[in-house]
């Protein structure tokens, strides 16, 4: 990848309050230099070993938000020229909780699923269309976008996940309102996203309407979905649901932890979900329950029937944190944007297989850093995130409308003054830090 500016030190120091130590890492690098600003990064390591980084920025040609994709070929030290993807329906949403999502199917095709937003007079919330594009040449060119949601093109179709499977299969999950209730919807394609089966809701209970979904595929073909469900009494806890036959039938959803968080709103903080090669299910999430607020991680060794949960970063109160998982033969890495401090920062904790999580390690420096994403290539973990100056972040937060006010209107998300930064470390070094 073509790094434009270096702004960090050569090592990370474990956070105050944790065991002292350092982890060798690359300097912090600005990844969105080609567009000056950028938001909602996403990363993918392909089966060919290529590293794909995408972000949303304003396109100088159209004047609207577009998707920018940079691919670094395996073994290369710099990236290919950045490819710009535009959508004829409108600007691509730079929504932190509903970013463009990357996936690869077994035939080597790369997919991006994203939303295009539209403000509608008289509506308090923007409406969105769920769109999918495909690349068959490693990200050098992209297909024309197709709509994934059924029915009206623009509606409450958002907070999505996409997953590639064997034989060119593509699985999509998202939240959509049905008779005034947000629900989790699934749709699948067997031919690389060209044709889709009928969309269907997989759970009759209401879903928290602004928390992202997660998708994962087990080695036995089981399909897993995670989201924040609304239980009786306005309890909003994360659940994991399994389909043993790839999406045809579904088991009952399981809470990885009985958080019991009562809240009359949506925190915009959904779960991260992974399944390892042994079939163990891993999930990490944030809860706002007073006294137990913060980030948790849980693992299931019995196909999602039961979980063992551990706290990762918990306090009396915590702002919503956005969690990311990396899981492999090396162990588990949990990353998040800290909700326990006034200005968010990117933190990670790592655990070797069968071991405990080590101390917090801070990746970002200065500013307000949010929405981390991971990619692992062989022995190296790469992390990307969005970052603003601290005063800009505070001003943006203060300007957000209070949607408890019935007259308030939520505008479309904008890139603003955000930039994309990235950093890398050897996975083995993170485990040694334990």
371-413 pLDDT per residue, tens? 999 999 999 999 999 999 999 999 999 999 998 899 999 999 9
Q: Residue 413, Cβ neighbours under 10 Å: how many?
A: 21
Burial degree of 56 (CB within 10 A; 0-12, 13-18, 19+): buried
- Tell me: the pLDDT tens digits for 304-362? 999 999 999 999 999 999 999 999 999 999 999 999 999 999 999 999 999 999 999 99
- Tell me: the pLDDT tens digits for 253-300? 999 999 999 999 999 999 999 999 999 999 999 999 999 999 999 999
Which helix or strand (DSSP H or E) is residue 298 part of? Answer: strand 293-300
- Of the chain, the percentage scoring pLDDT greater than 70 comes to 94
Beta-bridge partners for 105: none
Give the residue among 98, 93, 94, 68 at the shortest CA–CA distance from 80. Answer: 68
pLDDT of 10: 27
Q: Is the dihedral of CA 386, 158, 148, 230 positive or negative?
A: positive
Model-wide pTM > 0.85? yes
Beta-bridge partners for 287: 294
Are the CB atoms for 199 and 185 separated by under 8 Å? yes
Give the residue among 50, 65, 99, 73 at the shortest CA–CA distance from 373. Answer: 99
Give the residue among 27, 74, 17 at the shortest CA–CA distance from 48. Answer: 74
pLDDT of 11: 32
| Strands lying side by side in the sheet with 170-178 | 158-164, 170-178, 181-189, 200-201
Confidence of residue 191 (pLDDT cuts 50, 70, 90): very high
Confidence of residue 433 (pLDDT cuts 50, 70, 90): low
C-alpha dihedral (169, 116, 176, 198), degrees to nearest 10: -40
Vertex 157: Cα angle to 36 and 96 (nearest 5): 30
pLDDT of 145: 97
Contacts of 162 (CB under 8 A, 6+ apart): 101, 102, 103, 111, 112, 113, 132, 170, 171, 172, 173, 215
φ and ψ at residue 9, rounded to 5 degrees: -90, 175
Confidence of residue 434 (pLDDT cuts 50, 70, 90): low
pLDDT of 310: 98
Vertex 374: Cα angle to 343 and 379 (nearest 5): 130
pLDDT of 288: 98
Are the CB atoms for 332 and 351 separated by under 8 Å? yes
CA 71/CA 2 separation, integer angstroms: 10
For 366-375, what is the mean pLDDT?
97
Mean residue pLDDT of the chain comes to 93
Q: Regarding predicted confidence, which is higher, 180 or 377? A: 377
Residue 271 structure tokens: 């779960």
Looking at residue 247, what DSSP letter applies? S
Q: Regarding predicted confidence, which is higher, 197 or 16? A: 197
Give the residue among 336, 269, 320, 274 at the shortest CA–CA distance from 299. Answer: 274
- Tell me: the pLDDT tens digits for 127-161? 999 999 999 999 999 999 999 999 889 999 999 99
For 86-103, what is the mean pLDDT?
98
Give the residue among 63, 72, 62 at the shortest CA–CA distance from 29. Answer: 72
CA 354/CA 299 separation, integer angstroms: 11
Beta strand segments in 22-169, E = 22-24, 29-30, 39-45, 51-58, 65-72, 83-85, 101-104, 110-118, 127-135, 146-147, 158-164
122-156: string of b/e by CB count within 10 Å (b at 16+)?
eeebbbbbbbbbbbeebbeebbebebbbbeebbbb
CA 347/CA 369 separation, integer angstroms: 10
For 88-116, what is the mean pLDDT?
97
- Tell me: the pLDDT tens digits for 31-55? 999 999 999 999 999 999 999 999 9
Burial degree of 346 (CB within 10 A; 0-12, 13-18, 19+): buried
- Tell me: the pLDDT tens digits for 57-74? 999 999 999 999 999 999
């Amino acid at each position: 990848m073509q790094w434009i500016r270096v702004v960090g030190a050569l090592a990370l120091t474990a956070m105050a309050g944790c065991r002292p130590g350092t982890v060798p890492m690359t300097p912090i690098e600005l990844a969105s230099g080609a567009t000056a600003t950028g938001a909602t990064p996403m990363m993918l390591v392909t089966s060919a070993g290529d590293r794909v980084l995408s972000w949303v920025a304003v396109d100088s040609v159209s004047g609207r938000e577009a998707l920018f994709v940079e691919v670094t070929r395996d073994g290369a030290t710099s990236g290919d020229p950045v490819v710009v993807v535009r959508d004829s329906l409108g600007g691509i949403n730079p929504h932190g909780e509903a970013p463009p999502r990357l996936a690869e199917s077994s035939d080597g095709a790369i997919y991006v699923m994203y939303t295009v937003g539209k403000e509608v007079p008289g509506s308090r919330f923007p409406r969105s269309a769920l769109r999918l594009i495909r690349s068959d040449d490693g990200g050098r060119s992209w297909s024309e976008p197709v709509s994934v949601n059924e029915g009206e093109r623009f509606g409450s179709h958002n907070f999505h996940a996409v997953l590639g499977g064997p034989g060119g299969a593509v699985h999509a999950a998202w939240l959509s309102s049905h008779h005034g209730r947000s629900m989790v919807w699934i749709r699948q394609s067997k031919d690389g996203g060209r044709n889709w089966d009928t969309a269907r809701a997989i759970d009759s209970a209401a879903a928290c309407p602004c928390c992202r979904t997660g998708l994962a595929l087990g080695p036995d073909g089981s399909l897993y979905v995670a989201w924040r469900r609304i239980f009786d009494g306005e309890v909003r806890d994360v659940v994991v649901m399994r389909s043993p036959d790839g999406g045809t039938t579904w088991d009952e959803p399981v809470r990885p932890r009985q958080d019991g968080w009562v809240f009359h709103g949506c925190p915009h903080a959904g779960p991260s979900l992974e399944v390892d090669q042994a079939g163990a299910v891993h999930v990490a999430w944030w809860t706002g329950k007073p006294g137990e607020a913060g980030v948790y991680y849980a693992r299931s060794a019995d196909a999602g029937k039961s979980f063992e949960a551990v706290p990762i970063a918990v306090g009396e109160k915590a702002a919503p944190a956005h969690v990311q998982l990396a899981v492999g033969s090396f162990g588990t890495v949990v990353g998040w944007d800290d909700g326990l401090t006034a200005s968010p920062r990117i933190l990670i904790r790592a655990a070797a297989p069968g071991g405990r999580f080590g101390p917090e390690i801070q990746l970002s420096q200065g500013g307000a850093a949010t929405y981390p994403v991971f990619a692992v290539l062989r022995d190296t973990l790469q992390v990307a995130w969005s970052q603003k100056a601290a005063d800009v972040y505070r001003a943006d937060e203060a300007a957000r409308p209070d949607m408890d006010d019935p007259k308030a209107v939520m505008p479309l998300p904008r890139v603003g003054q955000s930039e994309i930064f990235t950093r890398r470390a050897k996975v083995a070094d993170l485990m040694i830090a334990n």
